C-alpha cells in the first residue's frame, strides 16, 4: 500500500490508499468498521519526472492529487515524489515537524541522569531524565556558538559543551558560562537549552516539534494518546503494547531508498508475505489477514498457526498484530515478542531504519536466541525488499496499485 501526500487545509499529510476489500475496514470510531470505497489518486499537472521541481511546484502537485480514483484505475505517486529534494523538504516541514513523533522508548532513560540523542530531519535533539525523574527534551545545540552539545547515549549529571565548556543542567538551565565577565546585559536565565515538547505513551517516547505549541506545558497523557493514535490507543494497549515489556536489543540499518518505500512495503496488506517471507507465512493463517484503517493508524492482523508447527507457534503465538502509526512508526506484536520499526529520512534516497526488540518480562530469562535471530533475519529481508521498488522509481513515472481480494 503506497503512501501519498494529501493537503488538509493548510496542513500536508501522508494518506494511505483505501481498498475495496472485505478484509480491509475503515474505522473512525472505536470498534466501528465499515468497508472502504475510495482508493488511490491519479497524477495531473507538471511533468512528474522533471528533475527541476521547486518547493512551490511540489506543493502544487500535491494539491492536484485526487483521492477518489477507484483502486482498479489508481497508480502510485510518480518517481519524483520519492527522489526529489523538494518533496522531502515539504514532508519534513508539513509532516515530521508537526504532531507527535516516536523517537525512542522509556527504557533508554529508565534511571535519573540517563540520556540519548537523535536526529529528525535537520533537528538534533537530546532526551534525558533529571534527578527528580522528570523527562526532558531539548534541541541538542549549545546556546553559545551552536555547537552540538551531546552525542550517543549514556549517563550525565550535566551537559558540557565540548567547544567552550558552557554547562547546562539536565533541566536545561544554563549552569555555567565560561569567560563572560564584563559582558553586559547577559541574563543567564535567557540562555538555557531550547525545550522540545516531550511525552510518553506505553513504552514509547514522543516528541512534538511544532513551533505553534508551548513546549513547557505538561502533556496530558489522554490528549497525547488521542493526538498520536486516535481512537485505537485502547486496541493497542489491550493487545499487549504497554510499558511492562522488557527491552532486548536494537538493530539499525541505513538503506539506499526513500523512507516512503519502506513504509509502502509494510502497508501492502500482507501481499508480499507468502513470496518474500516464506518462513513467516508458514506460521500464519494468511486467509485470516485483515486490515483496519483508523484516523492515524492502520492495523493489520492475522491468526497464528497451530501447535503442529511448535517452533513457529512459540514465536508468533495465536495472533500477530502489525500497527502502522502515521507517518513512520511500526509496532509488531506477536507471541511474547514486540518489535518496532522507526523509519527516519536521511535524504531523498536514503533512510535509517531502527529496529527495537522487546519481550514479555516473564519470558526474558528464557527467550530463545534462535527466535530473536529469526526476527532480525526477517527484518533484514524487509530491508532488502524495500530497495527493489526504489530502483523501479528511477526508471518509471509511476507504478500500478494492486487490489487484494
Domain count, the chain: 2
Q: Could you tell me the residue range of the domain that residue 127 belongs to?
A: 101-209
My answer on whether 91 and 109 are in the same domain is no
Asked whether residue 220 is domain-assigned, the answer is no
Cβ–Cβ under 8 Å, residues 90 and 11: no
pLDDT of residue 40: 29
Q: Tens place of pLDDT for every residue, the chain, 405 residues?
A: 455 444 333 334 444 434 333 445 555 443 333 222 222 233 333 344 446 889 888 888 888 878 778 878 888 778 888 889 999 999 999 999 999 999 999 999 999 999 999 999 999 999 999 999 999 999 999 999 999 999 999 999 999 999 999 999 999 999 999 888 888 888 889 999 999 999 999 999 999 999 888 887 778 888 999 999 998 999 999 999 999 999 999 999 999 889 999 998 888 766 656 656 556 555 566 666 778 888 899 998 877 655 455 555 455 556 789 999 999 999 999 888 899 999 999 999 999 999 999 998 888 777 655 566 555 555 555 555 555 454 444 445 556 666 655
> CB-based burial of residue 291 (10 Å sphere; 0-12 exposed, 13-18 middle, 19+ buried)?
buried
**Chain centroid to CA 248: how far?**
19
My answer on whether 270 and 366 are in the same domain is yes
My answer on whether 249 and 389 are in the same domain is yes
pLDDT of residue 332: 94
CATH of the domain at 163: 2.102.10.10
pLDDT of residue 402: 64
Cβ–Cβ under 8 Å, residues 139 and 123: yes
My answer on whether 263 and 373 are in the same domain is yes
My answer on whether 287 and 367 are in the same domain is yes
Task: Give the whole-angstrom CA distance, residue 247 versus residue 315.
Answer: 16
Asked whether residue 214 is domain-assigned, the answer is no
Q: List the grid coordinates of 204.
A: 514509547
pLDDT of residue 14: 44
Cβ-based neighbours of 126, under 8 Å, separated by 6 or more: 115, 116, 117, 118, 137, 138, 140, 149, 150, 159
Task: Give the whole-angstrom CA distance, residue 73 versus residue 293.
Answer: 21
My answer on whether 266 and 321 are in the same domain is yes
Task: Give the whole-angstrom CA distance, residue 327 versus residue 345.
Answer: 11
Asked whether residue 238 is domain-assigned, the answer is no
My answer on whether 36 and 171 are in the same domain is no
**Core vs surface per residue 321-347: b (16+ CB within 10 A) or e:** bbbbbbbbbbbbbbbbbbbbbbbbbee
Cβ–Cβ under 8 Å, residues 347 and 122: no
Cα-Cα-Cα-Cα dihedral sign, residues 228, 231, 232, 235 = positive
My answer on whether 10 and 90 are in the same domain is yes
Asked whether residue 126 is domain-assigned, the answer is yes
The pTM of the full predicted model, rounded to 2 decimals, is: 0.80
My answer on whether 122 and 83 are in the same domain is no
pLDDT of residue 21: 39
Asked whether residue 234 is domain-assigned, the answer is no
Q: On the CB side of 135, how many CA atoms lie within 13 Å of its CA?
A: 21
pLDDT of residue 10: 34
Asked whether residue 295 is domain-assigned, the answer is yes
My answer on whether 248 and 191 are in the same domain is no
Q: List the grid coordinates of 399.
A: 507504478
**Chain centroid to CA 102: how far?**
6
Asked whether residue 221 is domain-assigned, the answer is no
* Residue matched to cell numbers 497451530: 306
- Which of 188, 209, 230 is where one domain is finished? 209
Asked whether residue 64 is domain-assigned, the answer is yes
My answer on whether 35 and 150 are in the same domain is no
My answer on whether 121 and 163 are in the same domain is yes
Task: Give the whole-angstrom CA distance, residue 9 versus residue 151.
Answer: 38
CATH of the domain at 49: 3.90.380.10
pLDDT of residue 335: 83
Amino acid at each position: 500500500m503506497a503512501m501519498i501526500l494529501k493537503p488538509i487545509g493548510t496542513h500536508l499529510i501522508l494518506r494511505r490508499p483505501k481498498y475495496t476489500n472485505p478484509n480491509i475496514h475503515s474505522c473512525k470510531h472505536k470498534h466501528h468498521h465499515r468497508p472502504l470505497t475510495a482508493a488511490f489518486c491519479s497524477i495531473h499537472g507538471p511533468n512528474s519526472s522533471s528533475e527541476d521541481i521547486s518547493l512551490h511546484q511540489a506543493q502544487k502537485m500535491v494539491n492536484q492529487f485526487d483521492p477518489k480514483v477507484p483502486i482498479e484505475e489508481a497508480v502510485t505517486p510518480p518517481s519524483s515524489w520519492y527522489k526529489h529534494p523538494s518533496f522531502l523538504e515539504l514532508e519534513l516541514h508539513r509532516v515530521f515537524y508537526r504532531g507527535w513523533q516516536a523517537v525512542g522508548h522509556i527504557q533508554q532513560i529508565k534511571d535519573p541522569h540517563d540520556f540519548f540523542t537523535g536526529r529528525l530531519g535537520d533537528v538534533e535533539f537530546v532526551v534525558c531524565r533529571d534527578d527528580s525523574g522528570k523527562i526532558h527534551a531539548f534541541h541538542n545545540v549549545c546556546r553559545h556558538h551552536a555547537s552540538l552539545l551531546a552525542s550517543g547515549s549514556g549517563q550525565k549529571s550535566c551537559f558540557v559543551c565540548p567547544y567552550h565548556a558552557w554547562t547546562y543542567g539536565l533541566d536545561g538551565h544554563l549552569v555555567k558560562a565560561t569567560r563572560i565577565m564584563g559582558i553586559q546585559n547577559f541574563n543567564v536565565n535567557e540562555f538555557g537549552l531550547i525545550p522540545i515538547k516531550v511525552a510518553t505513551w506505553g513504552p514509547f517516547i514522543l516528541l512534538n516539534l511544532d513551533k505553534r505549541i508551548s513546549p513547557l506545558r505538561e502533556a496530558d497523557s489522554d490528549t497525547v494518546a488521542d493526538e498520536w493514535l486516535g481512537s485505537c490507543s485502547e486496541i493497542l494497549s489491550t493487545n499487549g503494547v504497554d510499558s511492562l515489556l522488557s527491552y532486548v536489543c536494537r538493530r539499525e540499518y541505513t538503506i539506499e531508498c526513500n523512507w516512503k518505500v519502506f513504509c509502502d512495503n509494510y502497508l501492502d496488506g500482507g501481499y508480499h508475505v507468502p513470496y518474500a517471507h516464506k518462513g513467516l507465512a508458514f506460521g500464519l493463517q494468511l486467509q485470516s489477514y485483515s486490515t483496519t484503517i483508523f484516523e492515524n493508524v492502520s492495523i493489520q492482523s492475522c491468526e497464528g498457526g497451530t501447535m503442529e508447527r511448535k517452533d513457529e507457534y512459540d514465536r508468533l503465538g495465536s495472533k500477530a498484530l502489525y500497527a502502522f502509526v502515521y507517518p513512520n512508526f511500526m509496532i509488531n506484536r506477536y507471541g511474547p515478542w514486540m518489535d518496532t520499526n522507526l523509519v527516519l529520512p536521511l535524504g531523498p534516497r536514503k533512510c535509517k531504519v531502527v529496529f527495537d526488540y522487546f519481550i514479555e518480562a516473564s519470558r526474558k530469562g528464557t527467550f530463545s536466541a534462535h527466535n530473536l535471530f529469526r526476527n532480525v533475519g526477517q527484518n533484514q529481508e524487509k530491508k532488502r525488499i524495500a530497495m527493489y521498488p526504489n530502483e523501479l522509481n528511477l526508471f518509471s513515472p509511476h507504478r500500478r496499485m494492486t487490489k487484494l481480494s
